[in-house]
Amino acid sequence: MNIYVGNLSFSTREEEITALFSNIGEVESTRIISDRDTGRSKGFGFVEMNDSEQAKAAIEKLNGTELDGRNLTVNEAKPKSNDRGNSRRY
């Protein structure tokens, strides 16, 4: 299951998120999204967990948890939409 992790501090590292989620279950991968131009964190990322029961437990336990002075927003990631607001009519 792909999990959205939002409201991250710009200084939070992927290793910290992996460690936090590893306390609940096995983490397949962790990715913090960064700005293409500056390389700076955009303040959110994704954690992939193969076991859906562990993923649901992680969402339940970690949503609202404080990390690096910020209360995390943790929920199931929604599929990426193809519509990026670029609906031009010609």
pLDDT in tens, 49-88: 999 999 999 999 999 999 999 999 999 999 877 655 555 5
Gap between the Cα atoms of 2 and 7, Å rounded: 17
What is the pTM assigned to this prediction? 0.87
> At the topology level of CATH, where does 2-76 sit?
Alpha-Beta Plaits (3.30.70)
Q: What do you get for the CA distance between the two ends of the chain, in Å?
A: 39
In degrees and rounded to multiples of 5, residue 48 shows phi and psi of -105, 125
Strands laid side by side in the 29-34 sheet: 29-34, 41-48, 2-6, 73-76
pLDDT in tens, 13-52: 999 999 999 999 999 999 999 999 999 999 999 999 999 9
Looking up tokens 């990026």 gives 84
Taking the domains of the chain in order of start, what are their residue ranges? 2-76
